[in-house]
Amino acid sequence: MQSRPRVFLFPGMGATARMYDQLGAALPGLTACDWPKAGEAQSFGELASSCIATYGITRHDLVAGCSMGGMVAAEMYAQLDCRALLLIGSCTEPSAVPLHRLAALGSRLLPERLLGLSARSVPGAMRLRSALLADPAFVRWSLDAFSRWRGARLPPHSRVHHIHGLLDPIIPVINVRPERIIRSGGHLIAITHHRQVARFLGSVLDRLSAPPAATAGASPPHRGSPPAGR
């Protein structure tokens, strides 16, 4: 078997790489990334370019993310035509998020103290896994950029592998076409169901690392009604 490709994981809005602590322990070798400073970036596409430069991501790598992290990873994939895009409770189009149109309002009106509570509001031990938040100013920037996002322009025959929670209230599963569904999962499956996510990502990596002869008859990423997981 060939060596596994590098995988760069990006966090959700308001969270940091710490949200992937348990996922990384269940599947060693992943690179969990923090957001670089938005600086002069005006869009998810420009933030994606900054991530590519900051972490030295190339077309031979895999890019992945949860929620907003998956959206920005999709922009990286669109720019580089990477080896694969891995979505964990995320999407590539704003139409999948019912509250998309309210993001601009939140960016303008929510006070800093509320913006800083986005991940701290996660109860119990989960707080530690997604904490050490990005600063409230970055969350405000993210809401504004998300409100103007028009979706990632993925190349034809894109290699997208997607796992999603059936009970996700932010990105309802009916609005996306994941390869795998976790029946009891909500929006934060990278934390709450990290073992199932690790198994899914591991199976994808195994397929991508297999010799060409072993994958010649393999099926492409699922596009129809996906099987449900627990």
pLDDT tens digits, one per residue of 85-102: 999 999 999 999 988 766
Distance CA 129, CA 144 (A): 25
Q: Report the mean per-residue pLDDT for the chain.
A: 82
* 7-229 topology per CATH: Rossmann fold (3.40.50)
pLDDT at 27: 95
Distance CA 118, CA 38 (A): 19
Distance separating the N- and C-terminal Cα atoms of the chain: 29
Strand partners, 63: 8, 85
Residue with tokens 């031990």: 125
HEC string of the chain equals CCCCCCEEEECCCCCCHHHHHHHHHHCCCEEECCCCCCCCCCCHHHHHHHHHHHHCCCCCCEEEEECHHHHHHHHHHHHHCCCEEEEECCCCCHHHCCCHHHHHHHHHHCCHHHHCCCCCCCCCCHHHHHCCCCCHHHHHHHHHHHHHCCCCCCCCCCCEEEEEECCCCCCCHHHCCCCEEECCCCCCHHHHCHHHHHHHHHHHHHHHHCCHHHHCCCCCCCCCCCCEEC
Task: Please give the structure tokens belonging to residue 144.
Answer: 């504004």
pLDDT tens digits, one per residue of 112-165: 544 444 444 444 444 444 444 657 788 888 888 998 999 999 988 899 999 999
Distance CA 51, CA 217 (A): 35
Q: Is the pLDDT of residue 108 over 60?
A: no
Residue closest to 51 by CA, chosen among 71, 67, 27: 71
Measured at the CA of 133, the angle between CA 129 and CA 139, to 5 degrees, comes to 130
Distance CA 226, CA 3 (A): 28
Strand order in the sheet with 180-182: 30-32, 7-10, 62-66, 84-88, 160-165, 180-182, 228-229
pLDDT at 100: 72
Residue with tokens 């509001």: 121
List the domain boundaries for the chain: 7-229
Please give the model's pTM, rounded to 2 decimal places. Answer: 0.83
pLDDT at 156: 85
pLDDT at 130: 45
With the C-alpha atoms ordered 206, 212, 214, 219, is the resulting torsion angle positive or negative? positive
pLDDT tens digits, one per residue of 156-199: 889 999 999 999 999 999 999 999 999 999 998 999 999 999 99
Task: Please give the structure tokens belonging to residue 133.
Answer: 């938040």
pLDDT at 37: 81
